[in-house]
Structure 1
Amino acid sequence: MNPFRKLAGQTAIYGLPTIVGRLLNYLLVPLYTRAFIPAEYGVVTEVYAYVAFLFVLLTYGMETAFFRFASREEQNNTVFATAMASLGVTSALFSVAGLLFAPEISARMGYGNHPEYIRWFILILATDALSTIPYAKLRLENRPLRFALIKIVNIGANISFNLFFILLCPYLLSKHPDTAISGLISRIYNPETGIGYIFISNLIASLLTFALLLPDILHKSMKPDPALLKKMLSYSWPLLIFGMAGIVNETFDRVILKHLLPGTTTEAMAQLGIYGACYKVSILMTLFIQTYRYAAEPFFFDQAKGQHPQDTYARMMHYFLIVCLFIFLSIMLFLDIVMLFVGEAYREGAPVVPVLLLANLFLGIFYNLSIWFKLTDKTTYGAIISVIGAVITLLLNYVLIPKFGYMGAAWATFACYASMMVISYFLGRKYYPVKYNLAGAAIYTIIALLLYGSSLLILTDDLLVRYGSSAVLLLFFIVFVAYRESKVFRRVIHKA
């Protein structure tokens, strides 16, 4: 099969549950931003930022190590068993320590009255870490349908329980007080738990997902190989640094924001909540990048076995950029409509959206570029690049947030990912040269930015004129791309 057709097909299958699920989760943002005040949603934003750090620590690059070794080892089951055993031991130790010290941890985080938040997330993290390798095996074995089914169940459970606890239970209690229904609801629902039901819903979904993946875990009879584990850890430890630095780049602003903003803690948490909600507006860009990565990572390693894989990687980057720029324009040309998804109290954060969209575009390009250090086993370079990005993130957040608030955090993210992208490109030219279409990338990027800039000049309250003009600008970009890429599209379709 034509490699691009294969990649596109698998991206679509992997992406369908992720896109649909994330969009449905995205539709929970209006619920959260209307059910909870910004300061409460700020707690959700902060807690999930810490979770992102810990998840990378708990998986310590083992997923990529699994792909690397399973793609070249004859005994794939041994690689699977070794990775699972390693994650099982570390997840168990983490869970025991976390559950024992939950009260102390919650007190230090400022949630002394809610140690249950910590306990729930310890279990979520351990369960999700153990699910990582079974998910990776499904991707490696090209079983996207089972992957998609389990993802859909996870997403459906999370959304359903959110709606049940946050909408249905309060509604039934208010409409049917002092009845058998309210008595039943009161046994499983406590209004004082509040945002805690977001976490409980996540935990239920994670446990259900792990249960569905158990058949893929238990039917393997191979034993872990200590010698192989040593090789896998040697390969993955730089990826741990890479991942931790990456999470610093991605979430540190939401961890540190409340500590650097002037004003009271409540005011700072409100600003954090606004920033976290507006970060969600860039969901379409993040969705595409994530779904692309699901299919692209095993695809990268598979293509490396063939002739001239660099040509394939260059074309992948080219089309990836085009799609990302289309997403950028689609959001920014209709931003006032997109912002209706968050509550009115959160919409003042709209100016961060274009900055975060471009930052995520740079991050997506960096993911494409990162293939050079993964294929050449120079993962230490990946760690170094991410550490440089983390240093930039830390410095700029400390400098910019006190002066510009969450807008400074957005620009710090932008600078971080732009720097990582540039550094990775130049190092990749040295160790694994790929002839990327820089001229085409520059042309499409300039056109997209010019079209966005043109939309800012349309100053009118007439919605028909404004949205009509935006539609014309977006259509122009589509036609421009179709004209320039028509020959390539015909050739790819013909080969397929």
Structure 2
Amino acid sequence: MSQLKKLASQTVLYGLSNVGAKLINYLLNPILSYALIDAAGKAANGNMALLYASITFLNIVFTYGMETAYFRFSANKEISKQTLFQTSFTSLFFSTMVMSMLLILCNTSLAQLIGVDKAVFINYAIAIVAIDTIAVIPFAKLRQQEQPLKYAFIKIGGILTTLLLTAWFVLYSPAFCKAHAQSAYAQWITPLSTTELLLLANLLGSLFTFLFLWKEWFSVRFNIDWNLWKRILTYSLPFLIIGLGGMINEVIDRIMLGKLVSADALISKTTTAIYNFNYKLAIFITLFIQAFKMAAEPFFFNQSKEKEAPLLYAKVMHWFVITLCLAFLFTALFLDVWKFYIGPTYRSGIGVVPILLAANVCLGIYYNLAVWYKVSDNLKYGVLITLIGATITLVLNYLFIPTYGMFACAWTTFICYAVMMILSYSIGQKHYPIPYAIKKISSYLILTAVLFFAQSFIAHQLDALFLKICSGLIAFALFLVYVVKQEQLHWRQLPFLKR
């Protein structure tokens, strides 16, 4: 239990700082979905959905697995921490400069490929990715040196900057520019489209992050240990394929939706925007998975040499699944409340949310299962599973989006992650057996599904929001009671309550 508490502590210290930043970022949802409701606003939201999907891909390419490799090699006491930092940072810095220049030269073609209106949008996106990439290794160094407060301050500060600037540009800047039309600010801002303003807010937020890492920049020396660099690349490059495949599974649906759902550009972007906003209602599962990934990666590597490591991994999975189920129910049972998080114009896609929540449960379990090929250096299986998932995503979306629209995207996401989860478990048990409590874990997943469908049926018969909430609370309480009974624990013995 002490190791579980250690992982929980690391999740709080390192994961939740990043999750807090992402949570603040999700506050942009109501601003954008309530304020941008005209045709131009919907087009801007559609552009941003496409650009964010593209930025996610570029982040994977630009970092090519170096963060994971940094943690892996930082656990090696024979390697100088300073040499590792300089080699990793120098590699990322120069590769970022080269890739950024090449992509900017192709910005017009990229804009047409992605489906956004202007090539300048691509320039903004590349600048954001470049700044964020250069900061990857300094942030990894902060985590490795156990400086969670500084890490959290910088991360959350950058997102707060983006949030405040977005609110200013969307809600207040138009009136200010109208009242001060001759000011330098108005003459600069007025010609910019809504999409450019949203991208500008993101770029300035990234610059804030960059500037507040100033102490780390003073320690930078552009040196490479070529032998170490080759070892790092040998380990990191498979994660480029895994990362790209993962991003295909995560974000390609929005790009394909915009391309395939309709021949009308406005309808396509509107549908993409609706799907994108409802996708974000899976926030609690998404944020928990992100927090867990940040804490678990160094934790799993540090424990990999211990004799009891497989048993520890099984215990982690056990409580991880329970938490995922709670996060699913917390969202799915109260959709009649969470729907107010997005504007009325975008609520027509609320039906995809439970499907996406279930998909993210499978994804979370897959991430936990993936420990076996990381610690046993069987990365080829990680690549294989990821490529199978990406193939499922591409084929099913291509076949069914023209007929079923955003629901095809949601069901494809669920099928993809479910298949990856099953494959990872099946292959992993042959190469790195871990004694997961399959029967008990399955019982939690089945009960979660039963409670959701039962409560959804009951809530559909009710008119009053209060009664719908009460039915959700009852279902949620039933799951908690079942967990306590199955684990034969008192409340204070639960890992997240025990002090």
Q: For residue 168 of structure 2, what is the aligned residue in structure 1?
A: 164
Alpha carbons 2:8, 2:496 under 8 Å: kept: no
Q: Does 1:117 align with 2:121?
A: yes
TM-score by length of 1: 0.94
Partner secondary structure for residue 224 of structure 1: coil
Question: Is contact 2:19-2:290 (8 Å) kept?
Answer: no
State the alpha-carbon separation in 1 of the partners of residues 84 and 188 from structure 2.
42
Q: Secondary structure at the match of 2:213?
A: helix
Which residue is equivalent to 1:291? 291
CA displacement at 1:19 relative to structure 2: 3.4
Alpha carbons 2:50, 2:115 under 8 Å: kept: no
Aligned to 1:62: 66
State the match for 1:471 in structure 2: 473
Distance in 2 (CA, whole Å) between partners of 1:317 and 1:132 is 28
Aligned ranges for residues 29-428 of structure 1 at < 5 Å?
29-36=29-36, 37-74=41-78, 75-111=80-116, 114-173=118-177, 177-178=179-180, 183=183, 185-190=185-190, 192-219=192-219, 223-428=223-428
- How many residue pairs are counted as aligned between the two chains? 491
Tell me the secondary structure at the aligned position of residue 377 of structure 2: coil
Q: Which amino acid aligns with 2:299?
A: F
Structure 1 SS opposite 2:153: helix
Report if the CA contact (8 A) 2:44-2:195 is conserved: yes
Please report how far the alpha carbon of residue 17 of structure 1 lies from its aligned counterpart in structure 2 after TM superposition.
Answer: 3.0
Please identify, of 216-225 and 61-70, the stretch whose mean Cα deviation from structure 2 is larger: 216-225
* Aligned 8 A contact 1:455 1:470 in 2: yes
- Superposed CA deviations along residues 297-321 of structure 1, whole A, max 9, x for unmatched, are 1111111133311111111111111
Q: How does 1:414-453 map to 2 (within 5 A)?
A: 414-453=414-453
Which of 449, 456, 462 pairs up with 1:460? 462
Equivalent position SS for 2:424: helix
Deviates more, 1:32-41 or 1:457-466: 32-41
Distance 1:261 1:222 in 2: 48
- Equivalent AA in structure 2 for residue 225 of structure 1: D
Contact 2:114/2:255, CA 8 A, preserved across alignment: no
Change (3 A) 1:178 1:158: closer
**1:188 shift after superposition:** 4.5
What residue in structure 2 maps to residue 23 of structure 1?
23
Paired with 1:335 and 1:385, the residues of 2 have a C-alpha distance of: 33
Letter in 2 for 1:388: I
The 3-state SS of whatever aligns with 2:135 is helix
How many angstroms does 1:184 deviate by? 5.4
CA spacing shift, 1:316–1:110, aligned 2, 3 Å: closer
Distance 2:273 2:473 in 1: 31
Aligned-pair CA distance for 1:134: 1.5
Deviates more, 1:356-365 or 1:100-109: 100-109
- In 2, Cα distance between the equivalents of 1:155 and 1:42? 21
Question: Which of 473, 476, 493 lines up with 1:490 in the alignment?
Answer: 493
Q: By how many angstroms is 1:485 displaced?
A: 2.6
Q: Which moved more, 1:25-34 or 1:136-145?
A: 136-145
Letter matched to residue 95 of structure 2: T
Deviation of the 1:34 alpha carbon: 2.4
Deviations 1:379-407 (A, max 9, x none): 12111110010011111111111121110
Q: Contact (CA 8 Å) 1:135, 1:147: kept in 2 or not?
A: yes
C-alpha contact 1:245 1:389 (8 A) present in aligned 2 = yes
Residue identity in the other structure for 2:63: T
Give the counterpart letter for 2:457 in structure 1: L
What CA distance in whole angstroms lies between the structure 2 residues aligned with 1:125 and 1:409? 26
Do the aligned partners of 1:55 and 1:129 also contact (CA within 8 Å) in 2?
yes
Specify whether residues 395 and 338 from structure 1 end up closer, same or farther in structure 2 by C-alpha distance, changes over 3 A only: same
Distance 1:416 1:172, change over 3 A: same
5+ long unaligned stretches in structure 2: none
